[in-house]
Homo-oligomer: A and B are copies of this chain.
Amino acid sequence: MMTNLQRLYPSEDLASRSILLSVADTGQACFTADLPGGASVAAAAQAALGGKFVDPRAALFLLPWEEACTMSHAFSMLHWRDTINFCPGCGAELRSRPAGHAKNCPSCDTVQYPMTSPVGITMITDAAQTRSLLVRQGRHPPGMYSCVAGFLEPGETIESCIRREVAEEVGIDLDEVGYMGSQHWPFNGGQLMVGCYGRTEQTELDIDTEELEDARWFSAEEILEAYKRIQNNPMARIRNETQKGELWVPPRGTIANRMIKTWLTDCGLLPR
């Protein structure tokens, strides 16, 4: 694979542009690299490898889980390598370590590693489990609603982050918070999305209109319809084919989609 690729870039040392991601039990190594060159080289690379370059976000929506995790890892490592160049302590230029997983500061002798920021994301439901509260930001595609989410602050547990974010964004006090699952998300500098359910008896909202464009309770049936819509057309999110006036939820490959699926399954609306 590497040899096929190297042939396309006779003047580049691809090995030195690569980062080692993992070594399987079989001994097979997995690397990531950002390839130089324009559209013609990209076309040649696609032909040589029998593959296709796609938008990284689309890849996360379309790939099987294991490959999506590898892609999330790869994207984060390349982004980190290209954006973290100076020691935040003393300002000296950092030097990459051989395997590419860390950078040293030659001046104050500290080591920098790729960072991942914890984010709490909440599937808010009413006490009777018949409705869920979804929110939309102005930057979301038309009709798209998702779960309340926000960065963990120092001093917080996952659960206290979830309670604070939900109180701040929609004015709801959660009665119960519980862990559902987690997922790495490579954008915005690398995030660990930690998904929780949050139950409340409170229905009235106090929406933070600086953060959110809208927040609304939807019935399980409305959410089921939206879930089926995006499962049938996951690329609608990327191709901007979602419609205002129609509820859309995040596609497969996102933790919000997985949390919605779990809730609909628990409601008996999707088969186990």
28 sample A-B contacts, Cβ–Cβ < 8 Å, listed by A number: A69-B156, A69-B157, A72-B155, A73-B156, A83-B88, A84-B89, A85-B91, A86-B86, A86-B87, A86-B91, A87-B88, A88-B88, A88-B112, A91-B91, A91-B93, A113-B151, A115-B117, A116-B118, A118-B118, A154-B184, A155-B184, A155-B186, A157-B181, A157-B184, A158-B182, A158-B192, A179-B179, A194-B194
- A68 to B, closest residue via Cβ: B155
Q: Which of B69, B152, B155, B157 contacts A155 (CB 8 A)?
A: B69
A160 CB–B CB distance under 8 Å:
yes
How many chain-A residues does the 8 Å CB contact rule pick out?
45
> A residues near B, CB below 8 A?
21, 69-70, 72-74, 76-77, 80, 83-91, 93, 112-118, 151-160, 179, 181-184, 186, 190, 192, 194
Shortest Cβ distance from A60 into chain B, in angstroms?
11
Q: Name the distance in Å between A208's Cβ and chain B's nearest Cβ.
A: 16
By beta carbon, the residue of chain B nearest A70 is B155
Q: How far is the CA of A114 from the CA of B115 in the complex (A)?
A: 11
